[in-house]
Structure 1
Amino acid sequence: MKRRILLGVALVAVLGVGWLLYDQGSSMPDAKSDGTASTATADGADAMPSASQADAAPQAQDIVDFRMLDLDAGWFRYADGAIMVTEDGGVHWRPAGPDWREPVDEDGTGAKEADGDAEKLADEVERAIRAIEAAYTEFLPGETIDYEGRQLAVKRAQPVSGQIGWALAAEGSGLGMPLLVTVDGGQTWHDEVTADLRARMEEEKNRREGRAEEAALYGSPELARKAIKPGWTLLPDRTFPGDVVLVRHGEPGELEWQGKTYKLQPYKAGYFTYLPISRSMEPGLYEIGDGRLIVEEKEFKTQHLEVSKQMESMRENTERIQADQEKVGAARANSAATFLFDSEFIVPLEGRLSTPFGYTRYVNGKLSNSHMAIDLAVPQGTPIKAVNDGGVALADELYLSGNTIYLDHGLGLFSQYAHLSELQVAAGDTVKKGDIIGLVGSTGFSTGPHLHFAFWAHDVPVNPDLFVETTPFQWLKESA
């Protein structure tokens, strides 16, 4: 938990580095000091000189170099040494003040060695964020660009983010404004930043912020770099029958899995769904997009229960059982289309594990079913906590499971609490992690006070042990 807090702090620090460098190292006077031509706007700023405006500029005012620090801040230098700076992605440019200094490239060379856990983690985060952004860069600079049907030699080009980049045409281009911008990966170029271009930049800023926010969920910078990429990510990529996998992709879409279609839902910078691994799934290698999932072999033990004939006869009332299944199915059919939690899951209570997950169960010597939950034996009336944030999808008395609660945690994931003596929430309620939702009992088909605790992913029961003191974002493991 301490490392996760440090990771969040480090992300905030890294995101602020570019702006701080610019803000502390530049001054924005309202009037030009070098006499160069510009277009004044209503707010006193100077619009980016267009090609037509720059045609009449003297040769001494040719642009010789530039750099964008991010999607907002940047500068360019005229041949006579005058500097123009922007803080809105090139919509407006202003002359740099006398105290302005060229920001140092953050390429890691000559950097001071990090001192302390927080600084070391900040360095790791910075490297991870750069690697993530590099994976999403869709503009690769070349020696020439196509500008309005002309092939122009490039003096310098710089990708900024996604499909956004800048290029400075070489001498002899004939352009009055040789500093050009692209927002479509270099297919088209522009000599001024219009409202439409700036809107594209704002969209990319939102995507970058989403990637940075998502990076904090994975537990370490290395795992964030491994997870956040344009293709498919499987969390984890090795699993067992009865488990569940979180799938991430960089684009929206659907996924076919074991005869069912799962829609990828947007969250932060990615698109996600859960894939349940049924208890009966054969071990082997399965392809998911460009990812490979390995399902390993697992053996499940056997449990024998002896119950009274009256209790055994409860299982023969198929009409009531079917009615409850329809009620539960309807409740689980309406799941939030996003994650409803942002922290680790907790255990609902502390108790003796009387039946682990996946046991093959025999009742009075007859094969009954697979126990796709865990049973925690505790005294009658023990309070039960919500294992994470969510919404109450169902809180009702059912025939076999007794007083039962289903909490929706989003994207088709539900936690289940059964055989309760008392319900302390109602359908439609919103709960926070740790809230008391009910009390332990022995209602329904039960041989004594205990909590029957389960997780369901897209109507398939999955192993609750996977969630304890972690989140699905942290199921990805470090490289061996």
Structure 2
Amino acid sequence: MNPRNLSGTRRTAAARKRRTGRTLVFTAAALAGLAAVLLAYDQRSAVAPSIDAVIESLEVKRPAPELVEFRMTDFDRGWQKYSDDVVKVTSDGGITWTEASPEAAGVPGSPDGSRSGRGEWTLAPVSEKRLDSLVYDRKAMAVKMSQFLTEKIGWALLEGGSGLPNPLLVTADGGETWHAEVTAEVRSAAEAEKKREAQAAAEAALYESPDKARLAMRSVWALMPSQASPGDTVLVRHDKPGEVSWQGKTYLLQPYGFGYYTYLPIPMSAKPGDYPIGDALLAIKAKKFDTQYLQVSQQMESMKQDTNRIAADQKKIDTARSKSEPEFLFSSAFIQPIQGILTTPYGHTRYVNGKYDSSHMAIDLAAKEGTPIKATNDGIVALADSLYLTGNSIYLDHGMGLFSQYAHMSELRVKTGDRVKKGDIIGLVGTTGFSTGPHLHFTFWVHNVQGNPNLFFDKTPMQWTAAPK
């Protein structure tokens, strides 16, 4: 063999090794074959074949890169890292994986290594679930690392030597069964959990702060507020479906986010004391209301004697308030419909022409006739009609049995069935019906019991922490 040729061949192989950055691993059989080929070269040509050509003619076994680490950053995105530093990413929940740079994937140690798309309000288990082993295809297998996105959706990387083409398994039932690929059933379960997680984030956003959201949403029972007075409203949250018995009535807990809610109206007849609601305690405190005296004309006073017309209107109202959307229709705090002069506060005991009339379970806000009236929050118009005593009136359904009422308007700007957003103009201030001057009679109805509006303004019900003054 020509020493110069052999030396050149060695330099070429070394250069090739430097270019690829990888060391070829030959078996004993492959090395023997290489030697035989080099010794049997054509003596007549006096030129040996290059080592590169020989390598290409042989079946050389290279060790397959091993999957050593993975992370799912949300239900759709994740990354895998291999022993040869190759990184693969997915954007379809693990159905397909493609090569990417560590920075683009968000692998720890890279500039974007801490990136996560799930946000704070995840359904991840409170205590991280770590697996040492699992059962796949009726065989127990050791687990190198695992990750559960929720109690149901989880991933597990098997220890080397499992013998599976894909050592990364996925479960959609909390680990009872495992799959070597993301099936349609697994993806459907992940989408359902993804939707629930978005609902949890929407629920948390209604609370005053993340800390208060965590406190309520991780409690078995939560009362908002835990202390109230007659005429107030309490929002109840439970971590399971069910019912709440209160003041001789039963209220169904409706799902929202991943909790279950209902409003509890505190009637004027409620006695002071402590009342158990699940494992929580509701304190009812006594409250004294002022007295108001009104003088009206005999003609106006006689309006309340027409019981047939009053009963006909009440039938319309009862029908409108008999159905409510089974969810919260609002996503932010309630607002006061107009900035008028408060002429009659909530709860005043009212005497008309010297005789007891009723408790005024609303607020009266005086304003110039024609003043625009805004919807207190998002809702559906349950009723928009001209009624005998309350004149041009509107009832908005805000979901979960909560309605707002607007009365004595000069003009209606919406009709029954319309959907409205907070701040939409729904009517104008007037003095129709049993009214002594231009004003807005405004209140809330909670499961057909009138509730104090002052509790709602500038808050969501999830932000009730104390009874209103």
TM-score, length basis structure 2: 0.74
8 A Cα contact 2:123 2:149, kept in partner: no
Q: Secondary structure at the match of 1:395?
A: strand
The answer as to 2:300 corresponding to 1:296 is: no
- Determine which structure has greater relative contact order: mean sequence separation of CA pairs < 8 Å that are 6+ residues apart, divided by chain length: 1
8 A Cα contact 2:168 2:180, kept in partner: yes
> Aligned-pair distance for 1:456?
0.9
Change (3 A) 1:105 1:221: farther
Change (3 A) 1:135 1:79: closer
Tell me the amino acid that sits aligned with residue 237 of structure 1: S
Tell me what 1:165 maps to: 154
Tell me what 1:92 maps to: 96
Residue from 225, 240, 250 that aligns with 2:229 = 240
Residues 300-353 of structure 1, C-alpha deviation per residue, up to 9 Å, x if partnerless? Answer: 222233444444443343333222211111111233333333333222222221
8 A Cα contact 2:80 2:87, kept in partner: yes
Q: Secondary structure at the match of 1:161?
A: coil
Tell me what 1:464 maps to: 453
138-147 or 317-326: which moved more? Answer: 138-147
Change (3 A) 1:98 1:341: closer
185-194 or 245-254: which moved more? Answer: 245-254
- Can you give the 5+ residue segments of structure 2 that lack an aligned partner in the other structure? 1-21, 25-60
The answer as to 2:153 corresponding to 1:153 is: no
The answer as to 2:261 corresponding to 1:279 is: no
Change (3 A) 1:313 1:90: same
Tell me what 1:371 maps to: 360
Residues 419-476 of structure 1, C-alpha deviation per residue, up to 9 Å, x if partnerless? Answer: 2344343333444433443333333333333321111122111011122223224335
Q: Secondary structure at the match of 1:414?
A: strand
Tell me what 2:414 maps to: 425
296-305 or 58-67: which moved more? Answer: 58-67
The sequence identity of aligned pairs, in percent, is 56
Residues 401-431 of structure 1, C-alpha deviation per residue, up to 9 Å, x if partnerless? Answer: 2332222223322221222344343333444
Residue from 46, 56, 78 that aligns with 1:74 = 78
Tell me what 2:328 maps to: 339
Measure the CA separation in 2 of the matches of 1:201 and 1:105.
Answer: 28
Tell me the amino acid that sits aligned with residue 301 of structure 1: D
Tell me what 2:435 maps to: 446
Tell me the amino acid that sits aligned with residue 70 of structure 2: F
8 A Cα contact 1:181 1:191, kept in partner: yes
> Aligned-pair distance for 1:373?
0.3
Measure the CA separation in 2 of the matches of 1:460 and 1:127.
Answer: 43
Tell me what 2:129 maps to: 140
Bigger-Rg structure (1/2): 2
Q: Secondary structure at the match of 2:89?
A: strand
Measure the CA separation in 1 of the matches of 2:136 and 2:79.
Answer: 22
Change (3 A) 1:94 1:425: closer
TM-score, length basis structure 1: 0.72
Q: Secondary structure at the match of 2:194?
A: helix
Tell me what 1:357 maps to: 346
Measure the CA separation in 1 of the matches of 2:161 and 2:394.
Answer: 74
Change (3 A) 1:376 1:65: closer
Residues 212-262 of structure 1, C-alpha deviation per residue, up to 9 Å, x if partnerless? Answer: 333333343323333444844433333332122333445555444434343
Residue from 416, 439, 442 that aligns with 2:405 = 416
Measure the CA separation in 1 of the matches of 2:94 and 2:409.
Answer: 62
Q: Secondary structure at the match of 2:389?
A: coil
**RMSD, aligned CA:** 3.7
